[in-house]
Structure 1
Amino acid sequence: MQKPIRRLSDYLRMIKFSHSLFALPFAGVALVQLLYYDPSVLERSDFLKLLAGIVICMVAMRSAAMGFNRIVDRRFDAANPRTANREIPSGTISLSSAVFFVVLFLAIFVAAAFWIQPLAGWLSPIPIIVTLGYSFTKRFTCLCHLVLGLALGLVPPAVWVAVAGTITIEPLLWMLGVAFYTAGFDILYASQDLEFDRNVGLRSIPARFGLSKAFWIARSFHLLSFLTFVSVALLAGTGWFFAFTLAVVGGLFVFQHVLVGNGRLDRIPIAFFNVNAAISAVIFIGLLVDRFILPGFL
């Protein structure tokens, strides 16, 4: 019994399953808005199927993407002291097992997308191409962070299409906000490997511009993200509680950059996971309260 559990733990570590907290709340944001605009969605006979399909797609796509990234980066990971103990370089998970894992979860993703509705299924190659393609971008462009941002940013419009079967400006604005939010914290995370990336010829904003300028670019991206979230709130006509929520989010953005200020790279793991997970969760909870919970008390 212990061996299967240990193997499962190895795979969960390989795909950084806990980091799903960054993306899942933004799927929830799109769903909350759709339910607000059309409460009858809750009464649809296939609502639970929609909900299950969205969760399955999210978990499957992210699992496949992380596994694929570990496969294509395995030689760089082995050479980097910070990542040498990852599952593939260390031999904990074999290359063939990792490939099977990725193919399996890609198949699950596509099947779940078609299960939700045919349109979602036919559009499923788009997130696959963008998300898997990100793993190669660091080899030729320092804008790789924005590609990762786009990969996560596709979550709100994907949910919108899955549930409503159409697209509007609002989920596209959510996509833009999530893209800049993700790119900003990915720049901070990449700062840990600045010298390694330069030595092996990998591209990143920290490797291209240096630590100080990279931190300013990350701040600019997070400012753009915040302004986009404000714009979508104004467009959607959210209430005072979501305005308060965005003020908290702005504070978290500032806190994150204060935390890693003056080149405190040792604090980046805290800023990367704890603060960023808090930002996405706060946005989702704040919107949920603003749209459905608070009106019932007032």
Structure 2
Amino acid sequence: MQPHTLNAPTVPDAPPDNWVHRYAPAWFRPYARLARFDRPIGGWLLLFPCWWSLALAEHANGVAYPSLWFVILFLVGAFVMRGAGCTYNDIVDREYDAGVARTRGRPIPSGEVTVKSAALFMVLLCLIGLAVLLQFNWYTVVLGASSLALVAIYPFMKRYTYWPQLVLGLTFKWGALVGWSAARGKLEWPAIVLYLGSVAWTIGYDTIYAHQDKEDDLALGLKSTALRFGEQTRPWVSGFYGFAVLMWALAAWMTGVGAIGMIALAAAAAHMAWQVATLDISDPENCLKRFRSNRDLGWLIFAGFLADMGLAALRAG
């Protein structure tokens, strides 16, 4: 297949050679960009707590590996619902996005997609997400649907508080609860502890991300933890990252995770330390690179949990 000509509006944090611009049909490209399919990092960051939680729950169940069907369902659901959430966010923020250098090329402010078309696309994505959610037990269906209240209020938070990243964390890491209930049919303390750690992780990495927009946000009267922390960003992010690792380790210990899983968490802590030590909040490219590197952290932890499950099963068998 030959790539398309890259002549569509774009945004600075999208890789110029991403698959959407190169291979997606012309009619679908604006909608794919609306759902951030050209920038999948957000989908991964939504997905990993689902997978971590599922792995820990299945570890507690004493199985050798998590359900592959559930792994696939969470993969599809995370990227679809991330797309729906981004579409909703862009509808709400369309006037602000037009005034920010990083976001004025998005499909709605650039005129590629109308608000009505975006809303219909969002409904379609939500229906796909619902179809995925209905594959789980009813406890998980209700728990997953309850996150919509947080999804609804998140885009408005930066208008009123310097802590929108907290609300993002509460919203974006709901999967740490859902992954557990999918395998166990209820909520238990390890899932809640994992969720708290994941919320702190989100505050940390999204503060780094928000430093890209701080000048525009300040001019528009919007708020963020990047503006709240300012030059003290490093110690604040260090604190949130440290809390995240402690909570993740506690959740892992509560579910019987052994040395391999704990080593993976130690490696994740080292990766976080690298992010903070090399962070330059005055350099948007530096901030974006460190933000994106959290996908590697997510894979590292998930792989560690999977390896630990396999080893435990071999010892038991």
- Could you state the TM-score of these two structures normalised by the residue count of structure 2? 0.83
Q: 1:208 offset after TM fit, Å?
A: 3.2
Partner of 2:270: 251
Query: Contact between 1:114 and 1:122, CA under 8 Å: does it hold in 2?
Result: no
Q: Distance in 1 between matches of 2:80 and 2:223?
A: 28
CA deviation profile, 1:171-216 (whole Å, cap 9, x unmatched): 111111111111111111111111211221111122234x212333
Matches within 5 A, 1:89-100: 89-100=109-120
Matches within 5 A, 1:110-259: 110-209=130-229, 211-259=230-278
Partner of 2:52: 29
CA deviation profile, 1:37-95 (whole Å, cap 9, x unmatched): 2257989xxx6664554344323321111111111111111111121111211122222
User: After the TM superposition, which of the residue ranges 150-159 and 228-237 deviates more from structure 2?
Assistant: 228-237
Query: Contact between 2:65 and 2:306, CA under 8 Å: does it hold in 1?
Result: no
Question: Over aligned residue pairs, what C-alpha RMSD do you find?
Answer: 2.6
CA deviation profile, 1:272-294 (whole Å, cap 9, x unmatched): 11x11111111101111111157
User: Cα 1:251–1:144, aligned 2, differ >3 Å: closer, same or farther?
Assistant: same
Percent identical residues = 26
Q: Which has the higher helix share?
A: 1
* Number of aligned residues: 293
Which of 31, 35, 40 aligns to 1:11? It is 31
Partner of 2:17: none
- Could you state the TM-score of these two structures normalised by the residue count of structure 1? 0.88
Q: Distance in 2 between matches of 1:48 and 1:238?
A: 20
Matched, 1:84 2:104: yes
User: Cα 1:123–1:228, aligned 2, differ >3 Å: closer, same or farther?
Assistant: closer
User: After the TM superposition, which of the residue ranges 278-287 and 99-108 deviates more from structure 2?
Assistant: 99-108
Paired residue type of 2:247: T
User: Cα 1:240–1:119, aligned 2, differ >3 Å: closer, same or farther?
Assistant: closer
Q: Distance in 2 between matches of 1:85 and 1:107?
A: 27
CA deviation profile, 1:17-51 (whole Å, cap 9, x unmatched): 312121222222222222222257989xxx66645
Q: Distance in 2 between matches of 1:4 and 1:252?
A: 34
Structure 2: unaligned runs, 5 residues or longer: 5-22
Paired residue type of 2:154: Y
